Chain A
Amino acid sequence: AQTVTQSQPEMSVQEAETVTLSCTYDTSESDYYLFWYKQPPSRQMILVIRQEAYKQQNATENRFSVNFQKAAKSFSLKISDSQLGDAAMYFCAYRSEAGYALNFGKGTSLLVTP
């Protein structure tokens, strides 16, 4: 089974600053997909960004970008120009090409201070 580790239970960032959330995963597969989801207090799980393992180029979505290091099995999320609305739990998730499940980490709680 694949495991996803988020080593930072909590992170804090000032508004307009940049923060990086860490994620590592363990797998023996070569084809898989990685995701970052955001869960605000409303509890809705919202997709932030996704990365296909076969792509070398790091995914970017506006202020959100990833640093995907396949050999190191690392998938960090960088949030630039942080906004108060970015405050939430952030979950890293892994999905294999063949499996049904998203395997989630335990999450990182991001606090954004004015």
Chain B
Amino acid sequence: ETGVTQTPRHLVMGMTNKKSLKCEQHLGHNAMYWYKQSAKKPLELMFVYSLEERVENNSVPSRFSPECPNSSHLFLHLHTLQPEDSALYLCASSLGTSGAETQYFGPGTRLLVL
């Protein structure tokens, strides 16, 4: 499945670093999502973009900053993270944002914060 790609696949960063996660979808979709998958916890929705406009922000700390320059690309900018932010970050896309639309996921970025 190469419809949604994410880079890097693995990232190690210190608490004072600034890094960015990148997601790209090749499916012609208009909606993109960031999810966080922590050990022993269900996936949590972080952000939703529809036609490059942010439509959902689930009480995510400001140290996570999303950016959607166009409908094919989504970024997650990271700064001054905490060790508890270590997790798998999954990007997804869907044709639209209605409940009927299936979300397709990328392979994720495994983040470790030291």
Q: Which residues of A contact B (CB under 8 A)?
A: 4, 31-33, 35, 37, 42-47, 50, 52, 91, 95-107
Residue of chain A at shortest CB distance from B99? A97
* Cβ–Cβ contact B42 & A44, under 8 A: no
Q: List 25 A-B contacts (CB under 8 A).
A: A4-B42, A31-B99, A32-B99, A35-B102, A37-B105, A43-B110, A44-B1, A44-B108, A45-B90, A45-B92, A47-B104, A50-B102, A52-B100, A97-B98, A100-B33, A100-B45, A100-B48, A100-B55, A100-B97, A101-B48, A101-B58, A102-B45, A102-B92, A103-B42, A106-B40
Complex formed: what's the CA distance from A81 to B58 in Å? 40
> Is residue B15 within 8 Å, beta carbon to beta carbon, of the partner chain?
no
- The smallest beta-carbon distance between B91 and chain A, in angstroms, is 10
Complex formed: what's the CA distance from A101 to B105 in Å? 13
Excluding A33-B100, A97-B98, A100-B97, 14 further A-B contacts by CB distance (< 8 Å) are: A37-B105, A42-B107, A43-B108, A44-B1, A44-B105, A44-B108, A45-B92, A45-B105, A97-B99, A100-B45, A100-B55, A101-B45, A102-B103, A107-B42
> Is residue B27 within 8 Å, beta carbon to beta carbon, of the partner chain?
no
Complex formed: what's the CA distance from A102 to B46 in Å? 11
Complex formed: what's the CA distance from A107 to B47 in Å? 22
Interface of B is mostly: loop
The size class of the interface chain B forms with chain A is 20 to 34
A residues in contact with B55, CB < 8 Å: 100
* Cβ–Cβ contact B88 & A43, under 8 A: yes
Complex formed: what's the CA distance from A98 to B45 in Å? 15
